[in-house]
Amino acid sequence: MTTVRSARRIILETGIGSDLRGADYTKAACRAVRDALHHSSLALFQSLDIDPTTMQIEIRIGVQEPDAVDVDAVARELPYGTVVVIPEIGGLDIPYAEYGTRIVVANAAVIARLPLPDGRYAV
């Protein structure tokens, strides 16, 4: 009999994104998540016959105004899995006086966990 352990972290990717003129924290956050996803290769699901929908994903977004991030929009950047988005203080705001606005920079950490059966994989 195979027992399933609690979910183990299998992927950690980071990314950076910005909005150059609109000061839109959600746009910057979504771009940061896409950047992180472009760094990862998720071939392990097919190779190991794992259902990717079982993945538990935590996205941490660092921006100067965390309450301005639309967490549902950021979560939609992921193609599958159960997604939780946690905005927190971070990133960078750069004044853009010529346009009367600012450039916003977001940092993203995409953390993926999977419940893996005991004895099936060595992690």
Res. 93: pLDDT tops 90: yes
Query: Please, is 36 exposed, middle or buried when counting C-beta atoms within 10 Å of its C-beta (0-12, 13-18, 19+)?
Result: buried
Q: Global pTM?
A: 0.86
> To the nearest whole percent, how much of the chain has pLDDT over 90?
56
- Give the integer Cα–Cα distance in Å for 52 and 115: 11
Q: pLDDT tens digits, residue range 35-64?
A: 999 887 666 677 777 788 888 999 999 999
Question: Does domain 8-114 match CATH 3.60.10.10?
Answer: no
Evaluate whether 12 touches 60 at the Cβ level (below 8 Å). Answer: no
- Give percent of the chain above pLDDT 70: 87
The confidence score (pLDDT) of residue 32 equals 98
Burial class (CB in 10 A: 0-12, 13-18, 19+), 87: buried
DSSP 8-state class, residue 9: E
